[in-house]
Structure 1
Amino acid sequence: MPNLLAAESISLALGTNQVLDDVSLGIGTGDRIGVVGRNGGGKSTLMRVLAGLQEVDSGRVTRVGGLTIGLLSQDDRLDPESTVHQAVLGDRAEHEWAGDPRIRDVLSGLLGGVGFTSIGGPDAVVGTKSGGERRRIALARLLIDDPDLLLLDEPTNHLDVEGVQWLADHLVQRRSRPDNAFLTITHDRWFLDAVALQTWEVVDGRVEQYDGGYAAYVLAKNERSRIAAATEDRRQNLLRKELAWLRRGAPARTSKPRFRIEAANELIKGEPEPRDEVELVRFATTRLGKDVIDLIDASITVGDKEILDRQTWRLAPGERAGIVGVNGAGKSTVLRAIEGSQPLSAGKRKQGRTVELAFLTQEVRELEKVAGMRVIDAITDVRSFIMLGGKEVSASQLAKRLGFSGPRQQTRVSDLSGGERRRLQLLRLLMREPNVLLLDEPTNDLDIETLTSLEDVLDGWAGTLVVVSHDRYLLERMCDRQVALLGDGRLRDLPGGVEQYLELREQVRRSATATAAARSGAAKVAAAPGVGAGGGGAPSYTAAEQREARKEMARVERSLAKLADQETKLHDALIEAASDHGRAAELDAQLREIHQQRETLEEQWMAAAELVE
Structure 2
Amino acid sequence: MANLTAAERIPLALGTQQLLRDVSLGVGTGDRIGIVGRNGGGKSTLLRVLAGVQPVDSGRMTRVGGLTTGLLTQDDTLDPAATVGAVVLGHLDEHEWAGDARIRDILHGLLGGLDLAGVGGHGQSIGPLSGGERRRIALARLLIDDPALLLLDEPTNHLDVEGVQWLADHLVQRRSRPDNAFVAITHDRWFLDAVSTLTWEVVDGRVEQYEGGYAAYVLAKSERDRIAAVTEERRTNLLRKELAWLRRGPPARTSKPKFRIEAANELIRGVPDPRDSVELVRFATSRLGKDVVDLLDASITLGDRQILDKQTWRLAPGERTGIVGVNGAGKSTVLRAIAGRQELSAGKRKEGRTVKLAFLTQELRELDQVEGRTVIDAITDVRSYIMLDGKETSASSLAKRLGFSGSRQQARVSDLSGGERRRLQFLRLLMTEPNVLLLDEPTNDLDIETLTSMEDVLDGWVGTLVVVSHDRYLLERMCDRQVALLGDGRLRDLPGGVEQYLQLRAEQASSREAAATSSSAAPASGAGRSAAEEREARKELQRIERSLNRLATTEQRLHDQLVEAAHDHLKAAELDEQLRAVRAERDELELAWLEAAEVLE
C-alpha distance in structure 1 between counterparts of 2:551 and 2:241, whole Å: 70
2:534 corresponds to 1:575: no
Query: Does the CA-based 8 Å contact 1:13-1:20 persist in structure 2?
Result: yes
In 1, distance between residues paired with 2:25 and 2:401?
A: 32
Q: Deviations over 1:483-522 (max 9, x none)?
A: 0000000000111000000000001001111111111111
Number of aligned positions between the proteins: 564
Residues 571 and 488 of structure 1: CA distance in aligned 2, closer, same or farther (over 3 Å): farther
Shift of 1:526: 9.8
Tell me which residue corresponds to 2:95: 95
Give the secondary structure class of the aligned counterpart of 1:126: coil
Partners of 2:89 and 2:368 in 1: CA distance? 42
TM-score after normalising by structure 1: 0.87
Question: 1:238–1:261: 8 Å Cα contact kept in structure 2?
Answer: no
Counterpart residue type for residue 249 of structure 2: R
Quick one: structure 1 residues 569 and 191, their matched pair in 2 at CA, closer, same or farther if it must change by over 3 Å? farther
Matched to 2:421, the amino acid is R
Q: Contact 2:245/2:251 (CA < 8 Å) preserved in 1? A: no
| 399-408 or 203-212, larger mean C-alpha shift | 399-408
User: Match of 2:553, as an amino acid?
Assistant: E
1:251-330 mapped onto 2 (5 Å cutoff):
252-253=248-249, 256=252, 268-270=267-269, 272-274=271-273, 275-330=275-330
Larger radius of gyration: 1
Q: Distance in 2 between matches of 1:309 and 1:468?
A: 20
Structure 2 CA distance for partners of 1:231 and 1:20, relative to 1, 3 Å: same
Structure 1 residue aligned with 2:492: 492
Deviation readout 1:38-82 (Å, 9 max, x if unpaired)? 000000000011111111111121111110100000011111111
Tell me, in whole angstroms, the C-alpha distance in 1 between the residues paired with 2:192 and 2:438: 26
Equivalent residue, structure 2, for 1:213? 213
User: Equivalent residue of 1:344, what SS?
Assistant: coil
Could you tell me which residue of structure 2 aligns to residue 69 of structure 1? 69
Please give the alpha-carbon distance, in whole angstroms, between the structure 1 residues aligned to 2:44 and 2:444.
Answer: 17
Q: Find the counterpart in structure 1 of residue 116 from structure 2.
A: 116
Equivalent residue for 1:12?
Answer: 12
Q: Is the 8 A contact 2:371 2:412 kept in 1?
A: yes
What are the superposed Cα offsets for residues 91-119 of structure 1, whole Å, 9 maximum, x if unpaired?
Answer: 32111111111111111111101111110
- Residue 260 and residue 175 in structure 1: after superposition, are their counterparts in 2 closer, same or farther (change >3 A)? closer
CA–CA separation in structure 2 for the residues paired with 1:265 and 1:164: 37
For residue 32 of structure 2, what is the aligned residue in structure 1? 32
The 3-state SS of whatever aligns with 1:58 is coil
Q: Report the residue type matching 1:176 in the other structure.
A: S
Task: Give me the whole-angstrom Cα distance separating, in 2, the residues matched to 1:369 and 1:195.
Answer: 42
1:260 deviation in Å?
10
| Structure 1 residue 254 displacement after superposition | 6.4
Report SS of the residue matched to 1:347. strand
Residue in 1 that maps onto 2:574: none
> Compared with structure 1, are the counterparts of its residues 206 and 381 closer, same or farther at alpha carbon in structure 2 (3 Å cutoff)?
same
Report the counterpart of residue 133 of structure 2 in structure 1: 133
Q: 1:94 to 1:372 in 2, by over 3 A?
A: same
* TM-score normalised to structure 2 length: 0.89
Bigger drift between 331-340 and 93-102 goes to 93-102
Matched, 1:462 2:462: yes
Kept in 2, the 8 Å contact 1:189–1:473? The answer is yes
| Aligned partners of 1:111 and 1:119 also within 8 Å | yes
The within-5 A match list for 1:167-178 is 167-178=167-178
Q: Specify the code of the residue in structure 1 equivalent to 2:364.
A: V
Distance 1:261 1:136, change over 3 A: same
Q: Secondary structure at the match of 1:420?
A: helix
Match of 2:9, SS state, is: strand
Task: Give unmatched runs, 5+ long, in structure 2.
Answer: 559-577
Match of residue 56 from structure 2: 56
Take 1:453 and 1:104, find their aligned partners in 2: how far apart are those partners?
40
Counting aligned pairs with the same residue, the percent is: 72
TM-fit CA distance, 1:289 = 0.3
Q: In the alignment, is the contact (CA less than 8 A) between 2:524 and 2:530 conserved in 1?
A: no
Structure 1 segment 459-538 matched on structure 2, within 5 A: 459-524=459-524
Q: Which amino acid aligns with 1:409?
A: Q
Structure 1's unaligned 5+ residue stretches are 532-555, 600-613
The residue that corresponds to 2:571 in the other structure is none
Work out the CA distance in 1 between the residues paired with 2:168 and 2:494.
Answer: 22
Instruction: Give the ranges of 4+ consecutive aligned residues of structure 1 lying more than 3 Å apart after TM superposition.
Output: 254-267, 525-531, 566-573, 579-585
CA distance in 2 between counterparts of 1:263 and 1:209 reads: 24
